[in-house]
Structure 1
Amino acid sequence: MRTLTVAKQGKADFRTVQDAVDHAPSDGSIIRIAPGKYREKIHVGTPNIELIGTGKLPQDVVLSWNDSAKSAGGTGKSGSVSVDADGFAAENLTIENTWELEHERLEEGSQAVALLMSSDKAVLDRVRLLGAQDTLYANSRTCHDNLPKDGSAPAPGRTACLASRQYFHDCYIEGHVDYIFGDAKAVFDHCELHSRHHDTVMLTAQSKHFPEEDSGYYFLHCRITGQDVGDKVV
């Protein structure tokens, strides 16, 4: 697989992550990202893209943007990084949505996604996801076609469908309201879920659309931490 490099300065193939993604071959690429903060909204529509931070720590490479549901025209458009192609991978970097740090919180429209990932067979290793409401949108495209087009409730007994499979290893996920949501079939292995201070903290809102959908979240040896919560292993 072809390898591309990104750096804000110095020797590299590209200066922005989006340029590297846009120039990746149709069968995918490994994109190695030099330390720095990359202030850009990123969309990955090519399969088998792998983003690798080359710093010593995930904090050394930061992919950052600040859209919200209100500013972007919907929660599904607010992601700092949005992935709708299969086989996505990321390692040793940070993805953040800074909207709530930079704006007054609204009654409506404060959803601000850091990572919106609809990818099947996706793997994240040592990735930090930072946000507030709706930080991680662990989404699945595969079961949406089975939903009624008129918005009515799904009929019982429909054919089972397999949601997108996603694996998170040694990741740090921070937020407050529903900060892990979506209808993927996701495994969180030795991850830390860190709850930011808020009147109502809700860690997950798994969004299975109907009983036959084969989706859900599995947390294996994860830690829940937070300003108002002691450490707890689940």
Structure 2
Amino acid sequence: MLITVSKSPGEGYSSLQEALDSIPPQQKQAVTIRIKPGIYEEKITIVREAPPILLLGEDPHSTVITWNDNAHTLGADGEPLGTFRSGTLNVFAEGFTAENLTIRNASGPGTGQAVAAFVDAGQAVFRRVRLLGDQDTLYTGQGRQYYGDCYIEGDVDYIFGAATALFEGCHLHNKRSRGYITAASTPEGAAFGYVFLNCRITGADNVSDVYLGRPWRPYAHVAFIRTVMDGSVTGEGWHNWGHPDREQTSRYEEYGSSGPGARPEERVAWSRQLTAEEAAEYRVLTVLDGWHPEGY
């Protein structure tokens, strides 16, 4: 099933949410929603009952989904939305793919938690997607998630959550000094949390002392494999979030880091530099437990 969304009259739906709502409840086969270039100012929800969905843009710089809720925004009930209802794109479907899009939370710096993509799907794939925000840009709630050739920016805990998520060839951009890239809440016993393969990290002008991560929950797992890091990354690398006990349970790992931010001799003692043999186990199929992230 193919649906088109466009800002040009007569080319399909003008609203992405209207297009999603048009999918018949009995639809089981995959649905592709082709999104023509334009700025779509709307808050999007893909319900749990939805069939496999592919949101397909033409170009990530010209196809933009944007909204500006944050944790303090009042909802319809008159109460603050909180972090988990602030998302611009909210994905609950079992199978989901997005390609060639920008997803932005335009709330702005200093407004608190403001999620661009809230991903609570069983299997989710993002390819060539720009995720723009400040604090809490990307929430990875559950399941297995794959991000390929994506651009993700933020300042505080801008990739956070419990899912097993693999980031391959992605660009992470730090917008503020003394920030944190990841805040993993990996469940106890999970083999993998966040794995970054062949990525790069940059910072805005004069940004420094950014940590690779801090443990939102005690068993946080994050691994950076062959990542190029600029000088915005602090030598310590990792922060315990004021919980010294989590130094014993968190798993923070690196292998083959390069660039000015790669200073293994300065890393906190409770992080690890992997051996070549250990790093070789960090492959897509292994991390995602046999699932190959093809498009839906």
TM-score (norm 2): 0.64
Structural mapping, 1:6-155, within 5 Å: 6-25=5-24, 26-27=27-28, 28-45=30-47, 46-54=50-58, 57-71=59-73, 72-100=80-108, 105-106=110-111, 110-140=112-142
Structure 1 letter corresponding to 2:60: P
Shift of 1:214: 4.8
CA distance in 2, matches of 1:225, 1:111: 22
CA distance in 2, matches of 1:98, 1:75: 14
For the pair shown, which has the larger CA radius of gyration, 1 or 2? 2
SS in 2 for 1:91: strand
SS in 1 for 2:136: coil
SS in 2 for 1:20: helix
CA distance in 2, matches of 1:207, 1:69: 19
Root mean square deviation, CA, Å: 1.7
Q: What percent identity do the matched residue pairs reach?
A: 46
Aligned to 1:196: 175
CA distance in 2, matches of 1:179, 1:73: 18
Gaps of 5+ in 1: 141-163
Is the CA contact (8 Å cut-off) linking 1:166 and 1:184 kept in structure 2?
A: yes
SS in 1 for 2:95: coil
Is the CA contact (8 Å cut-off) linking 1:183 and 1:215 kept in structure 2?
A: no
CA distance in 2, matches of 1:88, 1:188: 16
SS in 1 for 2:87: coil
Shift of 1:23: 1.1
| 1:72-94 CA distance string (max 9 Å, x none) | 52111000000011110000010
User: Which portions of structure 1, spanning 4 or more consecutive aligned residues, are displaced by more than 6 angstroms?
Assistant: none
SS in 1 for 2:230: strand
Flag the structure with more relative contact order, 1 or 2, with Cα contacts below 8 A and sequence separation at least 6: 1
Structural mapping, 1:154-233, within 5 Å: 164-198=143-177, 200-209=178-187, 211-227=188-204, 228=207, 231=230
The structure where strand makes up a greater share of residues is 1
CA distance in 2, matches of 1:47, 1:138: 20
Structure 2 letter corresponding to 1:175: G
CA distance in 2, matches of 1:79, 1:47: 21
Structure 2 letter corresponding to 1:76: F
| 1:158-211 CA distance string (max 9 Å, x none) | xxxxxx00000000000010000010110000000001024x2100001124x1
CA distance in 2, matches of 1:44, 1:12: 22
Aligned to 1:161: none
Is the CA contact (8 Å cut-off) linking 1:127 and 1:172 kept in structure 2?
A: yes
CA distance in 2, matches of 1:9, 1:168: 30
Aligned to 2:77: none
What is the aligned residue count?
200
Is the CA contact (8 Å cut-off) linking 1:21 and 1:49 kept in structure 2?
A: no
CA distance in 2, matches of 1:12, 1:206: 42
Gaps of 5+ in 2: 74-79, 209-228, 232-255, 258-296
TM-score (norm 1): 0.81
